[in-house]
């Protein structure tokens, strides 16, 4: 009930009912929907609520909506608000009301004269100004004395659109009398402003009469407003012309800037030549120094040491100067990206050549790797996310990339659509396909000419924008706010850069670095204040930001990764390891510091111990350290073998910030860690429990030697470290963090009708917030079903790709206590064109949304005679289906009808054969269901998906076992036998289980990851039924 209806109802009680005592008020259509007239009814009156549904505010439920259970002339007052427009035969209900009124009894009627179509469950009528007089004539014709005391149309200015103004309430008050002399001397309209087309029996005249509808009046006013706006636009156009002149001037300045950059590039080339000459000179000098040192001449040693330091300082200054120029020049994002791309090409980075020089050979010209149905599913995803990072994440090369790649996996596990936009617009042939395989839309040149172009074209489609790195985010916030006004901006810090830079400045006692760290702090605080949420990796960093600005919204999502497990024992291991990306200065410093200050003390007692230095982009400072006890591997694509060989991870960081991915990676492999306080900050590590924490070189060497020899301590730290990595740095921790963020910033809910919930445990399923959604969905479904069968609902068929009218009947429906039936929504919401029901259409839709198959995907479906398999076979060339035909045919062979025989407990397929296995309501018929899942896991490729449904008891942790098969092959029924339909066997197939939540943990124990139940609902797509779900697990 809208607010204006409540307002007029209260005015009726105030004007007409103040003098009544012990009177009975009957409210027709009393269900409390956003309020009820009971809320404004005087307490002195006896209130009775009447409706045809049993809901809040209803005292009497009608069996027949046109027959009131009251005696003739027994009621003092009847009120009816927001009801007559929904009554198919309101004139019959009107006569019933008049019959029940006492002589002199009052009838208050409120119904819309305007407003939008709104079924509840029908919307049939609107009431114009003369409706009250017509109703009196109808009552008189049927022999009832009835007089209209007053009527009017509520004006739009009475309230806001949201409060009911759009309905323009028609209000009428009747009395069951033939004449009204000396009856009710006041009227509502006497003191009511802003009404139209009123009538009062006192004056027997029409009041504020108008023949122009409120919508027409509003149109006239809008025309005046548009005319005024046109004048303003003309003025703004003149301003735009002036701006164009300014832009032309700016373009000229940019041309001059580009010329300066070209000169700078020439200077860089000359510098490179100078550096090459210096390198040659330094090499000669190094040879002379070695010769002189071997002469043992103390007199010559001092000047030679001085000359070596001077040469190193000269080389460092030559490299530093261009970097300072690059950071200080006022370059655009595009210019900086071009310079970065030039740098990476020269340094041998994995970028695909010069994009703008040979676009015809660039991978951007390749066709889309996803199927058209995957692209359609992503278009209708619950949430659409744009992720902006400096380049494509290389998750096995640095912690920042690992974290961003993990976030993308979390988003896709939620079923959200992710678009990845690298600042350099580069396609990485080694890593971009990895994202595309997850169903991520990857933008790159030449398909996208500029970031600004993409935002202008598609910015309004995004719900969430996640930007990384302060320099890029700071520059892009104004553009993102302008081009993506409805999107919520999230800023991922990776780490707090100003904290790291402050520490480096203090370590090196560098005033210039201190000044830059202060500037960086201002920048990062400015970004945090400008976005909707800032993401940090530890509670420590969160408190640092909140101390500076308590009004910020800051969430903690740590560096997360996989749990790999310990692959070898203490006695099988040797040596130390340091992992890191060496474009990150703290890692370079840590390795040099360890080799020079700590490793000699370790080798003095244990000369056989070696250090393995692993990571991408090692500079000369690192590679030059290679010797018998220092092995510099560089980048290793898969470090599993090495991590099962080394004994200890060393992390001697002297400056830095955030949570260190290198420790999480080593802990997840079961390799114990020794690190400094800075290395373990923000991780909740207790020294001696999950790792050893030491800060001086002597303490560090002693800790390594102790751990290297103590098997008991090693095994304890290994187990506790793996537990810490799983509990606090897993993908599920990130999923929980983003759930909090999305629930906060996406309020109200996202724009898409498809509702998809990822549930990983019974505890998550039982959260109170879910019950509110269920009640809302049940109310919608009850309204749809209230009209009887067939139930016709308009919607969009994902399979057909266009609007349809879904048909639902009561076949296989569920009996209710009152004798009525509710539809089996899962099986009986059928598309009239493709003839697929709710369950099949949802399976096709969500398979493409969650699993993102490509046209070349190899699929196995555990059915072959169903419409679902026929659809998949038509659209995917590499699909195999089967049925269980028993022992009459060897597994892996087909019968005369082409039906393949397979047993899920002993599949005939090879290992790692399929990208996905789809099974719908099959597993419950297999006594040894765990063996069936083991076989599916064996046949899936790494990263492949098990996508399935089974009968599921949402309230039970444990399975409900209905029947058992003993060793002799005899079936024992523990519950009454339950048989399901079988396309092969007319007698049906016995159901052994209704599964419970323990199934998810059992699948994880078998080796599946990302195991979750997905609850789905959508009125638009015809996915009705409040607890529909399916399961997904990844190998």
- pLDDT confidence bin for 335, thresholds 50/70/90: low
Is residue 621 a contact partner of residue 403, using CB atoms and an 8 Å limit?
no
Instruction: Enter the DSSP assignment of 461.
Output: G
Question: Is the per-residue pLDDT at 663 higher than 50?
Answer: yes
Q: Is the model's pLDDT at 383 over the cut of 80?
A: yes
Per-domain boundaries in the chain: 3-211, 217-330, 371-556, 570-729, 854-1012+1026-1034
Report whether pLDDT(678) > 90: yes
At residue 251, the pLDDT reads 84
Question: What is the C-alpha to C-alpha distance for residues 557 and 542, in angstroms, rounded to an integer?
Answer: 10
Q: Answer with the residue of higher pLDDT: 938 or 186.
A: 938
Position 220 scores a pLDDT of 63
The helix/strand/coil state of 566 is coil
Two domains, one topology: 3-211 and 854-1012+1026-1034:
yes
Mean pLDDT across the stretch 586-595?
A: 96
pLDDT band at 284 (very low <50, low <70, confident <90, very high): confident
Which architecture characterizes domain 854-1012+1026-1034 according to CATH? Answer: 3-Layer(aba) Sandwich (3.40)
First to last CA, the chain: 52
Between 255 and 693, name the one with better pLDDT.
Answer: 693
Q: Express each pLDDT in 189-233 by its tens digit.
A: 998 988 999 999 888 888 888 866 656 666 666 777 887 788 788
- Which of 467, 466, 468, 448 has its CA nearest to residue 458? 448
Q: Which has more pLDDT, 490 or 567?
A: 490
pLDDT tens, position by position, 72-104:
999 999 999 999 999 999 999 999 999 999 999
Other CB atoms within 10 A of residue 1025 CB: 22
Q: Could you confirm whether domain 371-556 is CATH 3.40.50.2000?
A: yes
Number of helical (H) and strand (E) elements in the chain, helices listed first: 30, 39
Answer with the residue of higher pLDDT: 110 or 226.
110
pLDDT surpassing 50 at residue 158:
no
C-beta neighbour count of 183 within 10 angstroms: 13
What number is the average pLDDT over the span 439-468? Answer: 92
| Number of Cβ atoms within 10 Å of the Cβ of 854 | 16
For residue 345, the model assigns a pLDDT of: 42
Once rounded to an integer, what is the mean pLDDT over residues 387-413?
92
pTM: 0.62
Is residue 642 pLDDT above 80, yes or no?
yes
The token duo for 373 is: 């149905």
DSSP 208: S
Choice between 702 and 748, residue whose per-residue pLDDT is larger: 702
DSSP state of 45: S
Pairwise pLDDT comparison (286 vs 161), residue with the higher score = 286
Greater model confidence, 265 or 883: 883
433 and 393 in contact (C-beta within 8 Å)?
A: no
Cα–Cα distance for residue pair 718/666, rounded to 1 Å: 9
Confidence tier at 367 by pLDDT (50, 70, 90):
very low
For 168, how many CA atoms within 13 A lie in the half-sphere containing its CB? 23
Contact 426, 364 (CB under 8 A): no
Percent of the chain topping pLDDT 90? 66
Q: For position 357, what pLDDT does the model report?
A: 34
The predicted model gives 943-964 an average pLDDT of: 96
In order of 291, 906, 972, the CA distances from 300 in angstroms are 11, 80, 96
* pLDDT value, residue 364: 41
Who's near 146: CB < 8 A, 6+ residues apart? 98, 107, 135, 136, 139, 140, 174, 175, 176, 177
User: What is the Cα–Cα distance from 491 to 481, expressed in whole angstroms?
Assistant: 13
The pLDDT value recorded for residue 486 is 92
Any idea which architecture 570-729 has in CATH? Answer: 3-Layer(aba) Sandwich (3.40)
- Is 774 or 479 the better-scoring residue by pLDDT? 479
Cα–Cα distance for residue pair 705/266, rounded to 1 Å? 52
DSSP secondary structure letters along 972-994: EESSS--EE--SS-TT-EE--EE
Q: Which residues contact 846 (CB under 8 A, 6 or more apart)?
A: 377, 415, 756, 1014, 1016, 1030
The Cα 160–Cα 155 span in angstroms is 11
| pLDDT tens per residue across span 871-882 | 999 999 999 999
User: Is residue 128 pLDDT above 70, yes or no?
Assistant: yes
Strand partners, 630: 611, 627
759: pLDDT strictly greater than 70 = yes
Give the pLDDT of residue 400: 86
Range list of H helices, 143-213: none
Between 211 and 930, the higher pLDDT residue: 930
How does pLDDT run across 763-788, given as a tens digit for each residue?
999 887 777 788 888 899 988 988 88
Q: Are strands 611-614 and 169-175 parallel, antiparallel or unpaired?
A: unpaired
Instruction: Give dist(CA 170, CA 613) in Å, integer.
Output: 82
Residue 160: pLDDT over 90: no
For position 199, what pLDDT does the model report?
93
Q: Which pLDDT value is given to residue 233?
A: 87
Confidence of residue 348 (pLDDT cuts 50, 70, 90): very low
Please write the tens of the pLDDT for every residue from 350-360.
Answer: 333 322 333 33
Which residue would you say has higher pLDDT here, 306 or 514?
A: 514
Q: What is the pLDDT of residue 541?
A: 93
Q: How confident is the model at residue 308 (pLDDT cuts 50, 70, 90)?
A: low
pLDDT of residue 752: 77
Q: Which residues contact 452 (CB under 8 A, 6 or more apart)?
A: 479, 483
Lowest mean pLDDT among 314-323, 566-575, 792-801: 314-323
Beta bridge partners of 79: 27, 108
Q: Is the pLDDT of residue 731 over 50?
A: yes
Number of Cβ within 10 Å of residue 377's Cβ equals 25
pLDDT for 536-552, tens place per residue?
999 999 999 999 999 99
Q: What was the pLDDT predicted at 840?
A: 95
User: Which residue did the predictor score with more confidence, 214 or 922?
Assistant: 922
Indicate the average pLDDT of the chain. Answer: 88
3-state secondary structure of 827: helix
Cis bond before residue 446 (omega within 30° of 0): yes
Q: How many angstroms separate the CA atoms of 384 and 2, rounded?
A: 33
User: For residue 121, what pLDDT band results from cuts at 50, 70 and 90?
Assistant: confident
Mean pLDDT of 365-380: 80
The pLDDT assigned to 399 comes to 83
Partners of 648 in the beta sheet? 576
Segment 692-720 shows an average pLDDT of 97
User: Is pLDDT of 161 > 50?
Assistant: no
Work out the average pLDDT over 968-988. 90
Burial 60-69 (b: 16+ CB within 10 A, else e): eebeebbebe
**Better-predicted residue by pLDDT, 166 or 603:** 603
Average pLDDT over residues 830-840: 95
Q: What is the mean pLDDT of residues 402-420?
A: 95
The CATH number given to 3-211 is: 3.40.50.150
Q: In this structure, what token pair is assigned to residue 105?
A: 């009894």
Average pLDDT over residues 32-37: 89
pLDDT at position 219, please?
67
Report pLDDT for 615: 93
């Amino acid at each position: 009930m809208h607010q204006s209806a409540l307002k007029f109802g209260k005015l009726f009680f105030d004007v007409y009912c103040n003098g009544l005592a012990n009177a009975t008020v009957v409210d027709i259509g009393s269900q409390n929907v956003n309020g009820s007239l009971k809320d404004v009814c005087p307490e002195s009156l006896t209130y009775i609520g009447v409706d045809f549904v049993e809901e809040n505010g209803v005292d009497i439920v009608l069996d027949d909506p046109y027959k009131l259970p009251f005696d003739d002339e027994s009621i003092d007052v009847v009120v009816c608000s927001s009801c007559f427009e929904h009554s198919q035969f309101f004139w019959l209900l009107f006569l019933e009301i008049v019959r029940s009124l006492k002589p002199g009894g009052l009838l208050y009627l409120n119904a819309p004269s305007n407003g939008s179509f709104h079924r509840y469950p029908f919307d049939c009528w609107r009431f114009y100004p003369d409706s009250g007089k017509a109703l009196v004539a109808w009552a008189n014709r049927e022999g009832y004395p009835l007089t209209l005391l007053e009527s009017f149309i509520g004006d739009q200015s009475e309230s806001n659109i949201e409060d009911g103004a759009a309905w323009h309430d028609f209000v009428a008050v009747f009395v069951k009398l033939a004449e009204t002399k000396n009856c009710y001397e006041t009227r509502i309209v006497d003191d009511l402003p802003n009404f139209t087309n009123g009538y009062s029996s006192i004056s027997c005249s029409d009041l504020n009469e108008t023949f122009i509808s409120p919508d027409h009046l509003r149109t006239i006013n809008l025309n005046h407003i548009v005319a005024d706006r046109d004048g303003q636009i003309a003025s703004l156009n003149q301003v735009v012309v002036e701006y164009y002149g300014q832009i032309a001037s700016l373009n000229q300045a940019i041309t001059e800037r580009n010329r300066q950059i070209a000169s700078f590039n020439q200077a860089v080339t000359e510098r490179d030549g100078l550096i090459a000459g210096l390198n040659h000179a330094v090499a000669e000098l190094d040879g002379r120094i070695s010769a002189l040192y071997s002469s043992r001449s103390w007199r010559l040693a001092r000047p030679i040491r001085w000359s070596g330091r001077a040469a190193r300082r000269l080389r460092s200054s030559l490299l530093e100067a261009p970097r300072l120029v690059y950071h200080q020049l006022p370059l655009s994002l595009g210019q900086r990206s071009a310079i970065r791309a030039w740098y990476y090409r020269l340094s041998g980075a994995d970028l695909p050549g010069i994009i703008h020089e040979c676009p015809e050979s660039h991978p951007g010209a390749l066709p889309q790797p996803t199927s058209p149905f995957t692209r359609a599913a992503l278009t209708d995803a619950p949430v659409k996310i744009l992720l902006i990072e400096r380049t494509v994440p290389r998750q096995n090369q640095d912690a920042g990339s690992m974290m961003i790649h993990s976030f993308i996996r979390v988003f896709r596990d939620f079923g959200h659509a992710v678009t990845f936009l690298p600042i350099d617009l580069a396609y990485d042939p080694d890593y971009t396909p990895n994202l595309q395989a997850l169903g991520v839309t990857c933008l790159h040149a030449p398909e996208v000419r500029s970031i600004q172009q993409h935002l202008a074209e598609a910015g309004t489609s995004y719900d969430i924008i996640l930007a990384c790195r302060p320099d890029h985010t700071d520059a892009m916030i104004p553009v993102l706010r302008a081009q993506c006004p409805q999107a919520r901006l999230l800023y991922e810090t990776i780490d707090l850069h100003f904290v790291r830079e402050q520490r480096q400045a203090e370590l090196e006692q560098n005033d210039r670095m201190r000044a830059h760290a202060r500037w960086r702090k201002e920048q990062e605080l400015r970004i945090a204040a400008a976005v909707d949420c800032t993401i940090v990796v530890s509670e420590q960093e969160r408190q640092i930001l909140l101390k500076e600005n308590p009004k910020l919204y800051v969430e903690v999502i740590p560096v997360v990764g996989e749990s790999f497990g310990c692959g070898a024992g203490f006695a099988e291991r040797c040596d130390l390891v340091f992992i890191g990306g060496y474009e990150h200065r703290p890692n370079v410093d840590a390795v040099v510091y360890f080799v020079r200050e700590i490793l000699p003390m370790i080798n003095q007692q244990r000369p056989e111990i070696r250090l393995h230095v692993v990571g991408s982009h090692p500079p000369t400072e690192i590679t030059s350290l290679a010797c018998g006890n220092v092995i510099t591997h560089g980048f290793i694509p898969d470090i599993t073998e090495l991590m099962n060989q080394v004994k200890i991870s060393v992390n001697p960081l002297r400056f830095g910030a955030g949570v260190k991915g290198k420790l999480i990676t080593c802990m997840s492999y079961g390799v114990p860690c020794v690190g400094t306080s800075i290395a373990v900050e923000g991780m909740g590590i207790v020294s001696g429990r999950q790792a050893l924490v030491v800060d001086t070189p002597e303490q560090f060497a002693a800790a390594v030697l102790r751990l290297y020899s103590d098997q008991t301590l090693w095994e304890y730290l290994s187990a506790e470290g793996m537990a810490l990595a799983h509990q606090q740095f897993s993908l599920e921790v990130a999923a929980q963090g983003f759930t909090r963020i999305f629930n906060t910033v996406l309020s109200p809910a996202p724009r898409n009708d498809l509702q998809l919930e990822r549930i990983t445990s019974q505890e998550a399923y039982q959260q109170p917030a879910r019950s509110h959604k269920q009640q809302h969905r049940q109310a919608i479904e009850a309204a749809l079903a209230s009209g009887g069968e067939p139930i016709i609902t308009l919607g969009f068929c994902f399979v057909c790709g266009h609007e349809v009218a879904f048909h639902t009947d009561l076949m296989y429906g569920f009996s209710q206590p009152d004798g009525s039936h509710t539809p089996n929504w899962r099986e009986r919401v059928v598309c009239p064109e493709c003839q697929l029901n709710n369950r099949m259409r949802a399976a096709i839709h969500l398979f493409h949304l969650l699993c993102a198959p490509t046209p070349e995907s190899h699929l196995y479906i555990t059915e072959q005679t169903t419409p679902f398999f026929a659809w998949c076979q038509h659209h995917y060339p590499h699909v195999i289906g089967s049925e269980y035909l028993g022992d009459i045919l060897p597994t892996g062979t087909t019968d005369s009808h082409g039906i393949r025989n397979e047993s899920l407990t002993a599949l005939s397929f090879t290992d790692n054969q399929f990208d996905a296995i789809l099974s719908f309501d099959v597993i419950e018929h297999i006594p040894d269901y765990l063996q069936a899942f083991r076989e599916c896991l064996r046949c899936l490729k790494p990263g492949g998906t098990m996508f399935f449904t089974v009968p599921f008891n949402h309230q039970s942790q444990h399975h409900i076992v209905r029947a058992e098969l003993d060793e002799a092959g005899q079936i024992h029924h523990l519950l009454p036998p339950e048989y399901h339909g079988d396309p092969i066997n007319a007698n049906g197939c016995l159901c052994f289980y209704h599964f419970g939540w323990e199934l998810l943990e059992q699948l994880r124990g078998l080796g599946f990851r990302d195991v979750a139940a997905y609850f789905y609902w959508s009125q638009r797509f015809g996915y009705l039924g409040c607890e529909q779900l399916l399961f997904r697990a990844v190998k």
